[in-house]
């Protein structure tokens, strides 16, 4: 992808990588809440076994502070069983190489 690629290009690329849909959202519209961690802690048998899940992930307040550093975000919708991590990591790399230096998946 060429440097300076637009967000529309990244949305299309997300679909090419395997997402059902991808759309731009305002990070300020993303709700963070303490109860979400409780759902994981008391509702998931895998709690504490994955570095991408609580208690290893940022707290709700930390997540809010991170989101507040951005003007745009890409929300990716994938089929159950899809390798979401692979899609997001590839998209993050392409965004970074397209001058979106704060890209983070």
Out of 5-9, 21-25, 48-52, the most confident range is 21-25
- pTM here is 0.82
Residue ranges per structural domain of the chain: 1-23+75-105, 27-70
Q: Do 83 and 89 form a contact (C-beta atoms < 8 A)?
A: no
Q: What is the pLDDT of residue 52?
A: 87
d(CA 99, CA 93): 10
Residue 4 has pLDDT above 50, yes or no: no
Q: What is the pLDDT of residues 27-82, one digit of tens each?
A: 999 999 999 999 999 999 999 999 989 999 999 999 999 999 999 999 999 999 99
Long-range contacts of 90-93 (CB under 8 A, 24+ apart): 90/17, 91/10, 91/13, 91/14, 91/17
């Amino acid at each position: 992808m060429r440097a300076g690629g637009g967000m529309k290009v990244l949305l299309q690329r997300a679909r090419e990588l395997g997402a059902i849909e991808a759309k731009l959202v305002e990070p300020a519209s993303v709700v963070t809440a303490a109860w979400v961690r409780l759902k994981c802690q008391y509702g998931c048998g895998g709690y504490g076994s994955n570095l991408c899940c609580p208690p290893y992930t940022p707290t709700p307040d930390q997540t809010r502070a991170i989101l507040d550093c951005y003007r745009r975000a890409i929300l990716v919708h994938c089929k159950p069983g899809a390798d979401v991590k692979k899609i997001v990591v590839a998209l993050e790399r392409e965004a970074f190489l397209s001058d979106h230096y704060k890209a983070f998946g």
